[in-house]
Amino acid sequence: MSDALLPLLIALPLLAGIFPLLLGLRFERAGWPVAMTASLTVAVLAGWLAWAVSPWSGGPQRFVHDLAGYPAPYGIELVGDGLSAILALLISVVAVAVLIYGRTTGPQTNAFYSGYLLLTGGLLGMALTGDLFNLFVFLEIVGLVSYALIASSDDGRAAYGALKYLFLGTTGASLYLIGVGYALVATGTLNMGDMATELAAVGYTDPLVQAAFGFILIGFMLKIAIFPLHTWQPDAYTYAPDTVSAFISALVSTTAAYALIRIAYDVFTVDFFAANPLITDAVLLVASVSIVVGSLLALLQTELKRVFAYSSVAQFGMILAAIGLQSETALFGAVIHLVGHGLMKATLFMGAGVLASAYGAQTVADYAGLAKRAPITSGMMAVAGLALVGIPPSIGTLGKWFIALGAVEEGSWGVAAVIFISTLLTLTYIGRLLETLYFNQPATTDDETGVVGDAGDATDDGSIVADGGDTERATAGIDDVAPVATERIVVVVVLALSTVALFGAAGLFAEFLDPVFGRFFQ
């Protein structure tokens, strides 16, 4: 019975994606309720899946569903195990949070809600599929919908960002497809489980297999936004609507990184890494560079969303390093950090969105003194930011601990050093934000900002109540100041606290991941 959950989890949001547009012909505001109903159902199903694969259900901890009854390796398989269940749960929970957050802030068009559901379905498909070509299909669904959602901002720069993402994202997906093609030529199959056995038979040092992995790796590095293939990502995150930024930054790269983990360890397996030390070293080198350069670039940014975007480049560098370490401990840390990073970035982007709509704050300088006006949002951004640095107690510490421990166990001292130093690197940009929020005096003149082209109206001191009863200043250039809806702040608070609460969840993660990693590291 439980294996029917798998197609349901994917089909439900994809099919529901029609209804906001369809019902929108008749009812103008149909989109949000439809999307909410679908998301909540998906969340319940994902919870059910998580329970089903958990050790407590008593059932098998891995489910396989043959789509349309065609058996593998000819048909398409959907696979639910501990790892994909964690991802499905993360996707559905963040999706609900994003929807609640976006109720008032939009984009409130029905097209947005359709896109939102398609994206959710695509991400769940990536998380659950057991077929390499099917993964490409979902990768494309996710990509195309992301381009559309990013461009849905009124800002012309968003369209530019989306176009850039379109070019590079499509290139990435194509590289992935080429890699899959090579693997198909080498093995004659597309099913992941089947290919794992076939690859072992072909031999891991076969040039065709090496080339296949190379293309797949580069394709995903583009999608994950690892330096130097990250260039699409800051523009896309920065100019997208706040809701979309939070959604995409928390989930899209995360799911791509998950897919890379799945392919690297389930299809190519650790033996492939062991047979190709050069590829392993290259992955570790690129990852380390991404950590350092991403952090430094983040420090140089003036716009806050851009800071967070470059921060993702660094954080995913850490996850890529964990993938390259071939260590069970490090990979365990990578999955924890995937979840943790998703939650932390969602919190930070949503917090930035709240402050942007309340105070028009775009640049780091705009955040001066906002902690006094918006104590709750600022406090939660501080919590999530410190979690990102790796300050305990938070999920950020856990991920870092396991990745670093894995690096030490493997004797990769250089990688271990980079991961430890990344505390300071992350601190450079988070510390700057915190200092501005809490200790800088609000700017009284607009001459020192001047980075964003908003018509500064510094004399406007009209204040209304928002965020915990503190006064806010009217946003520059906009006359009608909308107070921030309470539920947006509640979402930020809940997500931020979850990053702290998950500090105690290492045992829980282990329960889910042990059977999966048992297969990965036989």
| Nearest distance from C-beta of residue 409 to other proteins, angstroms | 6
Question: Applying CB under 8 A, does 321 fall inside the site for other proteins?
Answer: no
Regarding 510 and contact with other proteins (CB under 8 A), the answer is yes
By CB under 8 A, which span of 233-241, 306-314, 399-407, 442-450 interacts with other proteins?
399-407
**Nearest distance from C-beta of residue 353 to other proteins, angstroms:** 25
Decide: is 50 part of the binding site for other proteins (CB under 8 A).
no
Nearer to other proteins, 237 or 401 (CB): 401
Establish if 423 lies at the interface with other proteins (CB under 8 A): yes
Secondary structure element (H or E) that encloses residue 376, with its range: helix 375-389
Nearer to other proteins, 33 or 442 (CB): 442
Touching other proteins, residues 333-392 (CB under 8 A): 386, 389-392
Q: Could you say whether residue 506 binds other proteins (CB under 8 A)?
A: yes
Q: Does 437 bind other proteins (CB under 8 A)?
A: no
Is residue 161 classed exposed, middle or buried when 0-12, 13-18 and 19+ CB atoms within 10 A define those classes? buried
DSSP label at residue 65: E
Number of residues that bind other proteins (CB under 8 A): 32
CA angle 145, 170, 22 (to 5 degrees): 20
Task: Give alpha helix (H) positions in 325-374.
Answer: 328-359, 370-373
Instruction: Spell out the SS3 assignment of 235-254.
Output: HHHHHCCHHHHHHHHHHHHH
Closest distance to other proteins from the beta carbon of 493 (Å) = 14
Distance CA 465, CA 483 (A): 7
Q: How far is the CB of 503 from other proteins (least distance, A)?
A: 7
How many Cβ atoms are within 10 Å of 487's Cβ, its own excluded?
A: 12
Q: What 8-state DSSP symbol labels residue 189?
A: -
Binding flag, residue 507, other proteins (CB under 8 A): yes
Q: x/- binding map, residues 476-505, to other proteins, per CB under 8 A?
A: ---------------------------xx-
Look at residue 204 and give its three-state secondary structure. Answer: coil
Q: Is 62 helix (H, G, I), strand (E, B) or coil?
A: strand
What residues contact residue 329 under an 8 Å CB cut-off, 6+ apart? 402, 405, 406, 409
CA end-to-end span of the chain, whole Å? 29
* Closest by CA position to 4, among listed 66, 56, 51: 66
Out of 6, 246, 374, 404, which residue is the one contacting other proteins (CB under 8 A)? 404
What is the Cα 79 distance to its own chain's centre?
21
Residues 441-460 contacting other proteins, CB under 8 A: 441
| HEC secondary structure over 429-455 | HHHHHHHHHHHCCCCCCCCCCCCCCCC
Nearer to other proteins, 89 or 427 (CB): 427
Residue 177 CB, nearest approach to other proteins (Å): 39
Minimal distance, residue 314 CB to other proteins, in Å = 15
Does the footprint of other proteins cover residue 292 (CB under 8 A)? no
Specify whether the CB–CB gap between 455 and 447 falls below 8 A.
no
Binder among 178, 211, 285, 408 for other proteins (CB under 8 A): 408
Residues 193-232 that bind other proteins (CB under 8 A): none
How far is Cα 10 from Cα 41, in angstroms, rounded to an integer? Answer: 12
Residue 65 φ then ψ, to 5° = -125, 125
Closer residue to other proteins in complex, CB, 327/362: 327
Q: 3-class SS at 332?
A: helix
Is 397 one of the binding residues for other proteins (CB under 8 A)? yes
Strands 463-466 and 470-473: antiparallel
Closest approach, Cβ 435 to other proteins, in A, equals: 6
Considering only residues 137, 282, 405, 494, which one is a binding residue for other proteins as defined by CB under 8 A?
A: 405
- Rounded to a whole number of angstroms, the minimum distance from the CB of residue 428 to other proteins is 8
The yes or no reply on residue 55 touching other proteins (CB under 8 A) is no
159/497 with CB nearer other proteins: 497
User: What is the contact surface with other proteins in residues (CB under 8 A)?
Assistant: 386, 389-393, 397-398, 400-402, 404-405, 408-409, 416, 420-421, 423-424, 427, 431, 435, 438-441, 503-504, 506-507, 510
